Amino acid sequence: MGTVRRILRLVPVLAVICGVLCLVVATGSGARAASGLDTAAAALREGPVYVDPRARDVLSQAEADTLAGRIEKADRPVFVAVLPDTAEFPAATLLQDLRTKVGITGVYAVALGDRFDAGADPAVMSRDSVENLAGAVRRSDPGDPAAMVTGFVDQALPQTGGHAPASWGDGSVGVGTGGGTGVLVALGLLVLVGGGGAVLVSRRAKRRREEQDRARLDELRPVVDEDITAFGEELSRIGFDPGGATADDAMREDYTRALDAYDTAKTAMDRAHAPGDVRQVSQALEEGRFALATLEARIEGGPLPERRPPCFFDPRHGPSVQDVPWTPDGGGAERTVPVCAADAARLEDGLEPMARQVDTPRGPRPYWEAGPAYAPWAQGYFGGGMLPGILVGTLLGGSLGGPYAYGGAPPDDQGGDYSGADFDPGDFGGGLGGGFGDGGGFGDGGGFGGN
């Protein structure tokens, strides 16, 4: 036993020795073997923006710091690399290779010389969204890589799901500029492992994730609380007396279901710790509103309602009564959505539906234009099957195209996680098949290798 203790006491010392040896080796032939892409990838694991020293005339240090600050404040996994147009960075495979070497799910924006393109994992942004955004900035600022990069980031941040990677730490290292970053990181990791630092890193990452969850939940809370309050008012309005002379067992059963749903929604919201927990609230409210609609039909002696999804435009309207064609403002394909009787009549008269408005940085907007933060809330009402079809082309719809959109975690919690090289290049939006060399991007001759 004493021998084991002596060995354990030597572990930190051995780790430091190994770190020093690695530093000596790396500063010799090993450092010379590192490629520019390896350096860029190592820097992006530590911060959101990397500017190759040979491309500092494209994006200055001050501009890079400002851009990194915006990304870190938004807490989104958006990675930016500004690189020289040299043979060291092959255009045809640049996006795919950079994503592979960084190994973190996210949105990747790359300026190569005076050209620009971007790619994204579908868990954080749909392929259509990233291609449209990249194409838009190329057409707006052709030949101006700094403007294309900053313009893309400004538009992409509100539409990106997920969270910033824990490896970015507290934001003290935001911009990489090349040099010995990879060596210092390797040495630091060895020392941390030897001294028990890995545990501290894990705890810090856990605390950071909890803080992010609380912030996103606070963003959703006003909308969810409004839903719960509105349902409570509906319960009071109907004024059902279970002991009344006209009450029967079926009515009492409906009323009990509605009350239980109300209590479940309130309890679930009180216990919620992360945005994904909100789905339980909206699921309970959807169940309760159908029970209430059934009770009201029994009281009035009318036909019982069909079990349908809630009104798309505002789930507080209750169960839908029919499906109607609808096209979002600003264009997009026509799609069929479930609506309540009041919204169906308004659409038939050529009026705008009574859409649910939520607060956004651009002011009150319909919830489907508010982005991925509202995905768990919408999933609880509409389930996972119909949402992609009715939300395609909207900001919220862009966050629902990934493979985890309706799984154990909501889209807002998927980006920023380490996945290594485990991703499908064909699904990595941007370019054509994840590359730039064949005129990728939006199909307009843009992207690396186009023009």
pLDDT tens, position by position, for the chain (451 residues)?
A: 555 455 445 545 454 454 444 444 444 444 444 578 999 999 999 999 999 999 999 999 999 999 999 999 888 999 999 999 999 999 989 999 999 999 999 999 999 999 999 999 888 888 888 888 998 899 988 999 999 999 999 989 988 888 888 888 644 444 555 444 444 444 455 445 555 554 554 566 677 777 877 888 888 899 999 999 999 999 999 889 999 999 999 999 999 999 999 999 999 999 998 888 999 999 999 999 999 999 999 999 999 999 999 999 999 999 999 999 988 876 567 888 999 999 999 999 989 999 999 987 778 889 888 767 788 888 889 875 556 556 665 656 555 543 333 333 333 445 555 555 555 555 555 543 334 433 333 233 333 433 3
- Asked whether the beta carbons of 137 and 151 are under 8 A apart, the reply is yes
DSSP secondary structure string for all residues of 61-127: HHHHHHHHHHHHHHT--EEEEEE--STTS-GGGHHHHHHHHH-B-SEEEEEETTEEEEEE-TTTS-H
Predicted pLDDT of residue 387: 61
pTM above 0.75, yes or no: no
CA distance 191 to 127: 40
- Which strand (E) or helix (H) includes residue 223? helix 197-238
Strand partners, 325: 336
Contacts with 6 (C-beta within 8 Å, 6 or more apart), sequence order: none
Cβ pair 146, 63 in contact under 8 A:
yes
Q: What distance in Å separates the CA atoms of residue 368 and residue 390, rounded to the nearest whole number?
A: 10
pLDDT for position 363: 84
The confidence score (pLDDT) of residue 124 equals 87
The token pair that represents 3 in the structure block: 């021998």
In one-letter notation, the amino acid at residue 169 is: G
State the chain's maximal CA–CA distance in angstroms.
92
Backbone angles phi, psi at 227, to 5 degrees: -65, -45
What's the rounded Cα separation, in Å, for the pair 148 and 140?
8
State the DSSP H helix or E strand holding residue 50, giving kind and residue range, or none if neither. strand 49-51
Looking at residue 331, what DSSP letter applies? -
339, 341, 347, 349: CA torsion to nearest 10? 170
Q: How far apart are CA 36 and CA 90, in angstroms?
A: 11
| pLDDT given at position 415 | 58
Given its phi and psi angles, is residue 37 left (phi above 0), alpha (psi -120 to 50 degrees) or beta? alpha
> Which is nearest to 449 in space by CA: 17, 95, 11?
95
Report whether 174 contacts 65 (CB < 8 A).
yes
Query: What gap in Å lies between CA 352 and CA 66, rounded to an integer?
Result: 40
Each residue of 254-276: b (16+ CB within 10 Å) or e? bbebbbebbebbbebbeebebbb
Helix, strand, coil % over all residues of the chain, rounded to 5: 55, 10, 35
Please enumerate in sequence order all residues whose Cβ is within 8 A of that of 141, keeping only pairs 6 or more positions apart, or say none. Answer: 147, 148, 151
**Distance of alpha carbon 74 from alpha carbon 285, whole angstroms:** 31
What's the pLDDT score for residue 74?
Answer: 87
Q: How many CB atoms lie within 10 A of CB 359?
A: 12
How far, CA to CA in Å, does 350 sit from each of 314, 343, 344, 347?
A: 18, 11, 10, 5
Q: What is the pLDDT of residue 409?
A: 38
Q: Sort strands 175-176 and 115-120 into parallel, antiparallel or unpaired.
A: unpaired
> Do β-strands 322-326 and 107-112 pair in parallel, antiparallel, or remain unpaired?
unpaired
User: For residues 335 and 3, what is the distance between their CA atoms, to the nearest angstrom?
Assistant: 72
3-state secondary structure of 244: coil
pLDDT at 423: 52
Which residue type does 354 have?
M
CA gap 338, 320 in Å, rounded:
6
Q: Where are the beta strands (DSSP E) in 137-226?
A: 175-176
